[in-house]
Structure 1
Amino acid sequence: MSTAVPVRHGDYGIDGDFRVVSARGQAAIITAIIVALLVLTVVAAVGGWTVLAVVTALLALAIALVTASYLWTTRAGKFRAWARVLGDLQLRGDEHVLDLGCGRGAVLLMAAQLLPRGRAVGIDLWRADQTGNGPEVTLRNAEREGVTGRVEVVTGDVTRLPFDDNTFDVVLSSLVIHNIPSAADRQTAIDEAVRVLRPGGRLAVADLLATGRHRARLRELGLTEVRRRNLGPHMWWLGPLIPTRLVTATKPGEKSQ
């Protein structure tokens, strides 16, 4: 199946924690640090302090490369990675899909584009872990992508999903569960995802932390085909130091036709 990334017409913002310092503020701080290091490099080189000049130049380069990696992931790379993940699911097109922590709809709307006869539901608390996060933004992006009729957004907590058992054919989540402070609540989010998943349904959770624990919990809950893999450079945060890993699993039972 093709994993080509469709042309995106929506605005999906920048991923990150902006509760204390805004995205612009963080960008200004990083720029100031790089400029200061470059100035120090020039001063050290002119003064004959070769080792200091090399160290500061390398630091400036490292920060610039890490920042570039981060921006690539949030603006382009994650779409490429999720195009492959969604392609691997081989959706029929009539599934009921849930996106946990959908944000501005990056993954939610990519899924919706694959569901001409299905429906994609996104749930979020709309906190400031993404620029301009809000349900109205997600719905506006859905309109721009031409999938408004297939998309629903819900305000809610992923540890207390407001859905009945066995509701969804597929449950997705991208970089959300690690934001939950408590390990117990992170496990509850996994439990809830499994609860609302139909027998034969599939789960795909991409995250930064505790993916090994997610995998272990899914096995405890009796899911099958439980796997974990690194999504590679397209979803590196701060370069290879913080990769994204994907956990996939299938809920036992007969798959709906």
Structure 2
Amino acid sequence: MSTTRLHNGTVKMKTPSGKAHYGFDAPGVMRGLLAGGLGGLVLGIAAALLATGWLRAAGVGLAAVAGVPLILGLSMVVYGLIGKQRMRDHMLGLIDWRGDERVLDIGTGRGLLLIGAAKRLGRGGQATGIDIWRAEDLTDNSLDRLAENVGAERVENAVTLLTADARKLPFPDASFDVVLSLYCIHNIEGRADQDAALAEIVRVLKPGGRALIGEWLPTHRYAGVFRTAGLTVRGSRTHFATALTLMWLVDAEKPALITQPERKRAHV
């Protein structure tokens, strides 16, 4: 048996069941793209082969257009099978780990980033995962599935799980050395609420801490919010080749506090 600490101090018993499974993101969207793309492709090819005149031309056009959602849907499948692990490894590889970091994973889902970070921690380190576990965001998305993955990967002593809203994080200021999030912030409806979540990331990040936010949409606006809040944006760029699907990543750092001796040296 393995135990996973929950936010209320209780423990949930989970029996390791082998390999962890991290699911497919936005399953409804993925299925819709695959079904729509495949259906359009079949109809288009049929019209192109069987019809004449303008119907044949329309069939060719339909088949070509249907290829777009089909490719996007297939890329989501590939991301779920391979790409998300590649993206996790890339994101975590950007951090120079000491082992004693306090890590927050926002929108942890089934624990992809949370567990990956926990494996890089040693004594004194702790990884906290928060989510509201909506079914439409990830296949079989639940706290129970996350706890099973934590047990399967045997990192239960390094993680804490919490149901919480990213727009109002239940942590004091400057609580975390690293804040991670992957395919989460865009699920918050409304720009104002998204900005509130980004402001919370800034608030709970320690001076000198890093925030890494991966999204399927461009992250340049997130970068602007971080800059306005005083963070140094190290990059906001595409990572299609890594994720094998649509992916942008913003990497930001909170300025370190200047100690009194450093201030004196700076003014000499």
TM-score normalised by structure 2 residue count? 0.79
Query: What letter corresponds to residue 254 of structure 2 in structure 1?
Result: K
Pair 1:82 & 2:88 matched? yes
- Residue pair 2:223, 2:233 contacting (<8 A) in 1 also: no
The counterpart of 1:14, out of the listed 3, 18, 24, is 24
Q: Are 1:125 and 2:132 counterparts?
A: yes
Q: Which residue of 2 aligns with 1:204?
A: 212
Contact 1:174 / 1:205 at 8 angstroms: preserved in 2? yes
Question: Take 1:91 and 1:235, find their aligned partners in 2: how far apart are those partners?
Answer: 22
The 8 Å contact of residues 24 and 80 in structure 2, kept in 1 or not, is answered as yes
1:64 lines up with 2:70 in the alignment: yes
Aligned twin of 1:251: 254
Contact preservation (8 Å) 1:219, 1:226: no
Q: Output the CA distance in 1 between the equivalents of 2:102 and 2:57.
A: 59
* Alignment-mate amino acid for residue 141 of structure 1: N
- Preserved contact between residue 208 and residue 245 of structure 1 (Cα < 8 Å): yes
| Greater CA drift, 164-173 or 54-63 | 54-63
Distance 1:102 1:119 in 2: 14
State the alpha-carbon separation in 2 of the partners of residues 36 and 178 from structure 1.
Answer: 28
DSSP 3-state at the match of 2:236 = strand
Unaligned stretches of 5+ residues in structure 1: 1-7, 238-242
Q: Distance in 1 between matches of 2:234 and 2:44?
A: 51
CA pair 184-63 structure 1, distance change in 2 beyond 3 A: closer
Output the amino acid matched with 1:82. R
Partner of 2:34: 30
Please say which of residues 137-146 and 223-232 is displaced more in the overlay.
223-232
Residue 45 of structure 1, CA deviation: 1.3
Query: C-alpha deviations, 1:142-197, integer Å up to 9, x for none?
Result: 11112111111100101110111111110011111111112111111111111111
Distance 1:212 1:40, change over 3 A: closer
Letter in 1 for 2:49: A
Matched residue pairs, number? 237
**In 2, Cα distance between equivalents of 1:161 and 1:83:** 26
Offset at residue 139 of structure 1 (A): 1.1
Cα 1:80–1:210 shift into 2, 3 Å: closer
Partner AA of 1:42 in structure 2:
A
Contact 2:219 2:237 in 1 (8 A): no
Deviations 1:221-249 (A, max 9, x none): 11124421111233354xxxxx3211111
Q: Name the CA shift for 1:46/1:236 in 2 (closer, same or farther; >3 Å).
A: same
Residue 136 of structure 1 and its aligned partner are, at CA, apart by 1.2
1:34 deviates by 1.8
Of the structure 1 ranges 43-52 and 160-169, higher mean CA displacement relative to structure 2 is found in 43-52
Indicate which of 106, 109, 113 corresponds to 2:112: 106
Structure 2: give runs of 5+ residues left out of the alignment.
1-17, 259-268
Amino acid at match of 1:215: A
The farther-off stretch of 30-39 and 182-191 is 30-39
1:42 aligns with 2:42: no
- 2:167 aligned with 1:159: yes
CA distance in 2, matches of 1:165, 1:63: 43
User: CA 1:44/1:95 → structure 2, altered by over 3 Å: closer, same or farther?
Assistant: same
Percent pairwise identity = 37
Structure 1 38/138 Cα, relative in aligned 2: closer, same or farther at 3 Å?
same
Deviation readout 1:36-69 (Å, 9 max, x if unpaired):
6425523541445553453344345444322221
Do 1:72 and 1:234's aligned partners in 2 also have CA atoms closer than 8 Å? no
Rounded to whole Å, the distance in 2 between the matches of 1:47 and 1:209 is 39
Contact 2:44 2:61 in 1 (8 A): no
Residue of structure 2 equivalent to 1:143: 151
Partner of 2:10: none
